[in-house]
Amino acid sequence: MGYLFIVLSAVLVNNVVFVRILGMCPFMGTSKKLETAIGMGLATTFVLTLGSGASYLIDHYLLVPFDLTYLRALAFIVVIAAIVQLTELIIHKVSPLLYQVLGIYLPLITTNCAVLGIPLLSAELSYDLLESLLFGFGSSVGFTFALILFAGLRERMDGADVPLALRGVPIIMMTAGFMSLAFMGFAGLDRFHH
Amino acid sequence: MNLKIFTPRGGVHPDSHKTESSETPIRHVPMPPRLIIPLIQGSQGSARTIVTVGDKVLKGQCIGEAEGADGTSIHAPTSGTVTEIGRYPMAHPSGLSSQSIVIEPDGENHWITYEPLDPTTANRDELILRIQASGIVGMGGAVFPSHLKARSKINTLVINGAECEPWMTGDDRLMRERAANIVSGAAVLAHLTGAQQTLIGIEDNKPEAIAATRTAVDDMEPVARECLGTGKMTVIVVPTRYPTGERKQLIHVLTGIEIPPSDRVTKFGIQCFNVATAHAVCRALLHGEPMVSRIVTVTGNVKRPGNYETPLGMPIADLLAFCGVKPNTTHVLMGGPMMGFTLPNLDAPVTKGCNCLIAASKELFPPPPSEQPCIRCGECVDACPVNLQPFELYWASRAKNFDGAKYHRLFDCMECGCCAYVCPAHIPLVDYFRYASSEIRARDEEQKAADQARMRFEFRSSRLEREKAEKSARLAARATETRTKSAADAALIAAAAERVNEQAQIEPSLQDNAAPLYDQQT
Amino acid sequence: MLAAILIMTGIALVLGATLGYAAVYFKVEGNPLAEQIDAILPQTQCAQCGYPGCKPYAEAIAKGETEINLCTPGGDDNTRKLAELLGREFKPRGALVEKLKTVALIDEQTCIGCTLCIQACPVDAIIGSSKQMHTVVSRYCTGCELCLPPCPVDCISMVEEPRTPQNWRWKYPVTGLRVVA
């Protein structure tokens, strides 16, 4: 039951985009079209799950035993960047089709703060390996979910009668704000936890 | 006999405005001072000029020969002289000009010698060729070459007398006055297509036309009866509803078969002709008269509204002047108010597709109220006869999201205008759809041109590379040749030097100084 | 302190070695990106970007050697598509007037049959042979203007493509402003 709550809370209650306000850069950048949003969501899910696991291993077996937890941010960045690069190389070789879908977004993930933030958080919360993996997976599903919802809205917004002063970035920021407010409603799910 | 009638969804019931023009008989118009006949009458099928400036022509004489299998011929609408072959404005929303033949009538109106064909004895190919050579095209407004349609083999022939567009009454008058010709033409078409069942669909707001057509079917001419053979011909009254006159809609009403927008009607063993086309087929085959005139409804803001038998090529301005167009006319619509368009230039001539001209004034067609935002109320969805979601199409078209428009099946839209008619926000939906579809078509063309250019560029690059490789191979071959040749020469020289050396050894005293010189050369 | 340096160096070395090995082991031949870029370019083969044709320009973009806004016939529309594909910043080309598509036309009276334009045409759209009159197959002409400079007698001119009902487009509907109060 605890595992389910980790996933559910990461997806909805503590949604990485709308509640934690992490990963805003790719969220704004790749939510213009539904297809790009799906591509970016998949790529992030892939990397974030792997990154959470790898970060846990580095943290648990290297940083903690040597009392180097103050180097977490640095070490995690290196590991995530390497994983992204490695994933890109492998996918490019093994599955050209998947590369077509994810290819352009993979390098972008290196600079996605959600991908660094989630391993840091799970280290903070001292999750074990499985919990870290689930937390990473749940958060990235939440990210994908937010991205797809928002892309759907933005496709509609393209054709909408937006007042001139609000066209472009302003209306997008406002919409993101409203969605963020809406996601706060999921905090009510917490009731069932206790 | 009344068959079961089916009701497709959607459609609207606009004010019919038919009585303005339907109560006077078809009238003839005086010959204008000149006739302008475009070589291309519709979107398909063109003709090749076979007359030159100065030629005397007779009424009905072929002046443009059908070009290719899809082309249809054009004929002189009266006797006179060809005065010019040049570019004149077309009756098209773009106002573009096209190659046309100008004829100055001599006032005699001399016909060519009629050469009727007996459909009961002539063979099928000959009859179809005659339809093409008589210049017969779909007269409902689509201007699709009729010989292409007559070629299909089908079970059910639908004759379209619905005439659902408001204001238009040309088919109504034609059925009232010349029903016998229509029935004969329909019988000939049934004979050509092998149809066992011929259904003539007429809307219930034309009782006189229904009665006249029923009488004509009962007292069919002997030749028509023979053409029909064992086949049956039935007049069916259909409820008045716009756009029942669209062929797939009418087929649905009459047979219950709903034909997908992407499929051809012949796939379901059905073919559809307009009553005016059937009339033209009868005139061409049974009387030997090619298509030189058509019935045009002139109505709206004119003193003498009605239906006029107009020679093709008559400038629209002349026709309107004859009907007494009132001075407060703001613009002129060609086609009906739902699917027609505003003529950009009244010098354009009457063509085979010109079924109706409506002079518009502020009182009859007040300028539309300004567009308001779409709130997706869904009125347009209820009105759409082809099950589209016009508001989705509108959003996509307006945002120039052409992929989205295609996804919502923009190309299934027949631009009937029902959605724009019912829209409470007065959004000119069809204008957006026309814009989006012409834009998508143009972009597809550009893409095709780019692909072709890429192919040609790549072919040229590979050709140049091959030529370069061939040239260097040729040069290399020549170099090797020269090298082997010089090597052979060198061997000869060496051999000669050897001989000299040998000689020198035999006679050392004589050749002492010369020998080293030959040694160097080897 | 030493432990920190050693561990970070160790991580860096291990990851670096893995990546280096992977780069060699998973090397992919060919660049599918270049083809995607080529599909966006307008294929006029006009060489106004400084590359001998659209394909070479696409390959240069794919390698990241050049800017994405050098294509004149494609215009800003094209640059925007490339920016979207490559995730790069959109840069306008500056004040360029959108030109209508033109095609080359040879004045057959003046042509001396030197074949120089035939050699210049990137899509083989000019036919003719030595000392014979040349002509442009307008269906294949991309309007790149590469045939203009080599002509010794200046007999080639660019003419606008004629408008026909087939290539005519409906305008974007413009509606009046709503009167408020």
Report the pLDDT value the prediction gives residue B1, as an integer from 0 to 100: 46
Whether residue B413 has pLDDT greater than 60: yes
**What CATH number has the domain bearing residue B198?**
3.40.50.11540
In this structure, the answer to whether residues B312 and B401 fall within a common structural domain is: no
Q: Is B253 within a domain?
A: yes
Whether residue B44 has pLDDT greater than 80: no
Does B243 sit behind a cis peptide bond, omega within 30 degrees of 0 on the bond before it?
Answer: yes
Whether residue B390 has pLDDT greater than 60: yes
Percentage of chain B exceeding pLDDT 70: 96
In this structure, the answer to whether residues C67 and C112 fall within a common structural domain is: no
User: pLDDT-based confidence at B389, cuts 50/70/90?
Assistant: very high
Q: Is C23 within a domain?
A: no
Report the pLDDT value the prediction gives residue B3, as an integer from 0 to 100: 65
Percentage of chain A exceeding pLDDT 90: 30
Chain C residues bordering chain B (beta-carbon distance below 8 Å): 38, 41-45, 53-55, 122-125, 140, 142, 163-173, 175-179
Question: With contacts defined as CB-CB under 8 Å, which chain C residues touch A93?
Answer: 26-28
**ipTM confidence score:** 0.73
Q: What is the mean pLDDT of residues B423-433?
A: 93
Q: What is the mean pLDDT of residues A69-82?
A: 90
Q: Is C153 within a domain?
A: yes
* A63-72, A125-134, B37-46, B422-431: the lowest-pLDDT one: B37-46
Measured in angstroms, the CA of B372 and the nearest CA of chain C are apart by: 7
Percentage of chain B exceeding pLDDT 90: 65
- As a whole number of angstroms, the distance between CA B399 and CA A156 comes to 9
Taking 3-state DSSP, the helix, strand and coil percentages for chain C, each rounded to the nearest 5, stand at 35, 10, 60
Beta bridge partners of B203: B238
Who's near C19: CB < 8 A, 6+ residues apart? A82, A85, A86, A89
- As a whole number of angstroms, the distance between CA C57 and CA C45 comes to 10
User: Cβ B401–A155 below 8 Å, yes or no?
Assistant: yes
Which amino acid is located at C13 in the chain?
Answer: L
Which one is predicted more confidently, A181 or C29? A181
Report the pLDDT value the prediction gives residue B125, as an integer from 0 to 100: 92
Query: Two tokens at C125?
Result: 């759209």
- As a whole number of angstroms, the distance between CA B471 and CA C69 comes to 37
Percentage of chain A exceeding pLDDT 70: 94
What's the structural domain count of chain B?
A: 2
Whether residue B516 has pLDDT greater than 70: no
- As a whole number of angstroms, the distance between CA A111 and CA A43 comes to 13
User: pLDDT-based confidence at B174, cuts 50/70/90?
Assistant: very high
Report the pLDDT value the prediction gives residue C166, as an integer from 0 to 100: 75
Report the pLDDT value the prediction gives residue B213, as an integer from 0 to 100: 95
Q: Among all chains, which residue has been given the structure tokens 């299934």?
A: B412
Report the pLDDT value the prediction gives residue B348, as an integer from 0 to 100: 92
B window 130-149, beta carbon within 8 A of C:
none
Taking 3-state DSSP, the helix, strand and coil percentages for chain A, each rounded to the nearest 5, stand at 80, 0, 20
**What CATH number has the domain bearing residue C151?**
3.30.70.20
Query: What range defines the domain where residue C121 resides?
Result: 100-162
Scanning B219-274, the segments in alpha helix (DSSP H) are 222-228, 247-255
B470 and C62 Cβ atoms separated by less than 8 Å: no
Of the candidates C54, C168, C178, which has its C-beta nearest B454's C-beta? C54
pLDDT digits (tens, 9 = 90+) for B111-126: 998 888 888 888 999 9
- B271 φ/ψ angles, rounded to the nearest 5 degrees: -140, 150
Q: Is B203 within a domain?
A: yes
Q: What is the mean pLDDT of residues B225-240?
A: 91
Of the candidates C163, C170, C178, which has its C-beta nearest B96's C-beta? C163
In this structure, the answer to whether residues B378 and B517 fall within a common structural domain is: yes
pLDDT digits (tens, 9 = 90+) for B240-297: 999 999 999 999 999 999 999 888 999 999 999 999 999 999 999 999 999 999 999 9
What's the structural domain count of chain C?
A: 2
- The CA distances from residue B252 to A75, A100, B6, B257, in Å, are 71, 45, 7, 5
Helix axes A72-94, C2-25, angle to 10 degrees: 10
pTM: 0.79
Chain C interface includes B370 (CB < 8 A): yes
Whether residue C84 has pLDDT greater than 80: no
- Residue ending a domain, choose from C86, C110, C132: C86
Percentage of chain C exceeding pLDDT 90: 8
Q: Is C175 within a domain?
A: no
Query: Two tokens at B423?
Result: 């829209």
Whether residue B522 has pLDDT greater than 50: no
- As a whole number of angstroms, the distance between CA B35 and CA B61 comes to 14
pLDDT digits (tens, 9 = 90+) for B60-69: 999 998 888 8
Q: What is the mean pLDDT of chain B?
A: 90
- Residue ending a domain, choose from B286, B302, B322: B322
In this structure, the answer to whether residues B285 and B222 fall within a common structural domain is: yes
A187 and A13 Cβ atoms separated by less than 8 Å: yes
Q: What is the DSSP letter of B315?
A: B
Q: Is B514 within a domain?
A: yes
Query: What range defines the domain where residue B509 resides?
Result: 371-522
Whether residue A165 has pLDDT greater than 70: yes
Whether residue A44 has pLDDT greater than 90: no
- As a whole number of angstroms, the distance between CA B380 and CA B420 comes to 7
Q: Is C44 within a domain?
A: yes
Buried b (16+ CB within 10 A) or exposed e, A50-65: bbbbbbbebbeebbee
Angle at B244 between CA B358 and CA B408, to 5 degrees: 95
Report the pLDDT value the prediction gives residue B183, as an integer from 0 to 100: 95
Of the candidates C7, C22, C32, which has its C-beta nearest A89's C-beta? C22
Residue B463 has a CB neighbour count (10 Å cut-off) of 11
A73 and A116 Cβ atoms separated by less than 8 Å: yes
In this structure, the answer to whether residues C112 and C148 fall within a common structural domain is: yes
Q: Is C75 within a domain?
A: yes
Which one is predicted more confidently, C78 or B279? B279
The answer for B300, left when phi > 0, alpha when psi is -120 to 50, beta otherwise, is left
- Residue ending a domain, choose from B305, B322, B339: B322
Residue C61 has a CB neighbour count (10 Å cut-off) of 26
Tell me whether strands B306-311 and B27-28 are parallel, antiparallel or unpaired. parallel
- As a whole number of angstroms, the distance between CA C155 and CA C159 comes to 13
Nearest CA-CA partner of B63 in B52, B71, B54: B52
Whether residue A32 has pLDDT greater than 90: no
Q: Is C148 within a domain?
A: yes
- C160 φ/ψ angles, rounded to the nearest 5 degrees: -70, 145
Whether residue C178 has pLDDT greater than 60: no
Report the pLDDT value the prediction gives residue B43, as an integer from 0 to 100: 64
- As a whole number of angstroms, the distance between CA C105 and CA B68 comes to 27
Which amino acid is located at B143 in the chain?
Answer: V
User: pLDDT-based confidence at B330, cuts 50/70/90?
Assistant: very high
pLDDT digits (tens, 9 = 90+) for B443-476: 888 888 888 888 888 898 899 999 999 999 999 9
Q: What is the mean pLDDT of chain A?
A: 86
**What CATH number has the domain bearing residue C75?**
1.10.15.40
Measured in angstroms, the CA of A177 and the nearest CA of chain C are apart by: 25
Output the furthest CA–CA distance in chain B (Å, rounded).
139
- As a whole number of angstroms, the distance between CA B57 and CA B54 comes to 9
B418 and B12 Cβ atoms separated by less than 8 Å: yes
* B198-212, B413-427, C67-81: the lowest-pLDDT one: C67-81
